[in-house]
Amino acid sequence: MRSESLLVLLFAAFATAHIVISYPGWRGNNLITNDTFPYGMQWMYPCGGIGTTTNRTYWPTTGGAVAFQPGWFRGHERANIQVNIGYGTNGPDNGPVDMSNQMVPVIQLLGPSNGPYPGTVCFPQVPMPKDANVSVGDKATIQVVEQAQHGAALFSCVDIEFAAPGDPKIEKVTEDNCFNSTDFGFAEIYAIATTNPVTGKSYDNVKNDAVSTRSSLGLISTVVAAGLWALL
Ligand SMILES: *[C@@H]1O[C@H](CO)[C@@H](O)[C@H](O)[C@H]1NC(C)=O
Ligand SMILES: *[C@@H]1O[C@H](CO)[C@@H](O)[C@H](O)[C@H]1NC(C)=O
Ligand SMILES: *[C@@H]1O[C@H](CO)[C@@H](O)[C@H](O)[C@H]1NC(C)=O
Ligand SMILES: *[C@@H]1O[C@H](CO)[C@@H](O)[C@H](O)[C@H]1NC(C)=O
């Protein structure tokens, strides 16, 4: 069925691992634990131990899809997921100055089990942050953060160059590269305290577009991927 099945097979050999960004690409394989990264590369802030890359992938100036496979390690029956963007190349390692601009505010992923699991999550239209001001040709880095049940976070990134929406250089978003596996659930995370004691600002009045578009379950079946997993 999907190219994801192939990825499942490719990476099944090192199932001690965490997030694979399947769209629009990733910096490279950081599903690695060795003497340099004894706890595993993906725990390294900000991009899971891989430096800024030059083989950038194209992404629309108006925002676009981000898809990833979150279940490459045990301990993620529940995980908090967040997607951020950092602009430019003037920061450390010729990457962004910081990665603090949120695109997908934290959402809880409910995985099918606490062991490693297959499956894909896709946000089909991740919006640019409100204050973003990007032009065709600008460079940026998208960061996917997966916070595990014990509180520590895994990082994976992809370096992008902005292109005009519809530019053929941008990989097409399809049901094959952007879907939610049916065995994932999602939960919203919100605070009970609604007023900041210092500013007096009431959080009840803060409307968040991303929250209103969240649905409770994924859509498209991944029978083949799930079947493959059962064989491994
Ligand atoms: C960039 O190159 C690395 C190393 O070959 C590869 O693993 C990665 O998938 C590439 N990234 C993109 C976005 O093409
Ligand atoms: C561990 O893996 C990383 C990524 O491939 C590599 O840069 C590093 O040199 C490796 N360390 C050792 C001790 O092999
Ligand atoms: C947006 O970026 C352009 C080009 O870099 C710049 O000329 C313009 O002043 C910026 N606008 C805002 C509101 O920052
Ligand atoms: C996957 O689920 C998330 C969270 O509910 C949602 O925002 C997203 O639109 C879904 N993706 C697809 C392709 O339906």
Q: What is the pLDDT of residues 137-191, one digit of tens each?
A: 999 999 999 998 888 999 999 999 999 999 999 999 999 999 999 888 899 887 6
How high is the pLDDT of residue 200?
86
Stretch 69-73: mean pLDDT: 82
For ligand 4, the distance from its centroid to the CA atom of residue 116, given in whole angstroms, is 21
pTM of the model: 0.81
Nearest CA to ligand 3 atom 11: 133
In short, whether 38's Cβ falls inside 6 Å of ligand 2 is no
In short, whether 214's Cβ falls inside 6 Å of ligand 4 is yes
> Pairing state of beta strands 101-110 and 153-163?
unpaired
Residues near 31 by beta carbon (within 8 Å), at least 6 away in sequence: 11, 14, 16, 17, 18, 20, 40, 41, 42, 72
> Pairing state of beta strands 139-147 and 78-87?
antiparallel
Residue 94, pLDDT > 90, answer yes
> Is the separation of the CB atoms in 63 and 125 below 8 Å?
yes
For ligand 4, the distance from its centroid to the CA atom of residue 160, given in whole angstroms, is 22
Residue 57, pLDDT > 60, answer yes
Residues near 107 by beta carbon (within 8 Å), at least 6 away in sequence: 80, 81, 82, 186, 187, 188, 189, 214
Give residue 76's pLDDT band: very low, low, confident or very high (50, 70, 90).
low
Stretch 21-49: mean pLDDT: 95
> Is the separation of the CB atoms in 104 and 125 below 8 Å?
no
Residue 9, pLDDT > 50, answer no
Residues near 23 by beta carbon (within 8 Å), at least 6 away in sequence: 65, 66, 67, 68, 122, 171, 173, 177, 178
Report helix angle 223-231 to 3-12, nearest 10: 20
Quote the mean pLDDT of the chain. Answer: 81
> How many angstroms separate the CA atoms of 126 and 105, rounded?
10
In short, whether 220's Cβ falls inside 6 Å of ligand 4 is no
> Is the separation of the CB atoms in 20 and 11 below 8 Å?
yes
Radius of gyration of the chain (CA): 18
In short, whether 105's Cβ falls inside 6 Å of ligand 4 is no
Residue-range domain boundaries for the chain? 3-190
Fold (topology level) of 3-190: Coagulation Factor XIII; Chain A, domain 1 (2.70.50)
Would you call 4 helix, strand, or coil by DSSP? helix
Q: Which bound ligand lies closest to the C-alpha atom of 133?
A: 3
Task: Tell me the best of 34, 37, 42, 53 to mutate to test the pocket of ligand 2, counting ligand atoms within 8 Å of each CB and taking the most.
Answer: 34
Q: Which residue has the tokens 């577009």?
A: 209
Give the ranges where the chain is alpha helix by DSSP (H).
3-12, 209-212, 223-231
Q: What is the pLDDT of residues 11-28, one digit of tens each?
A: 433 333 378 999 999 999
Give residue 219's pLDDT band: very low, low, confident or very high (50, 70, 90).
very low
Q: Which bound ligand lies closest to the C-alpha atom of 48?
A: 2
In short, whether 57's Cβ falls inside 6 Å of ligand 1 is yes
Amino acid letter, 137: G
Residue 10, pLDDT > 50, answer no
How high is the pLDDT of residue 75?
66
How high is the pLDDT of residue 213?
35
Residue 114, pLDDT > 50, answer yes
> How many angstroms separate the CA atoms of 7 and 21, rounded?
11
Residue 5, pLDDT > 90, answer no
Stretch 87-102: mean pLDDT: 97
> How many angstroms separate the CA atoms of 185 and 117, rounded?
13
Q: What is the pLDDT of residues 202-212, one digit of tens each?
A: 876 544 434 33
Would you call 17 helix, strand, or coil by DSSP? coil
Residue 64, pLDDT > 90, answer yes
Nearest CA to ligand 1 atom 1: 55
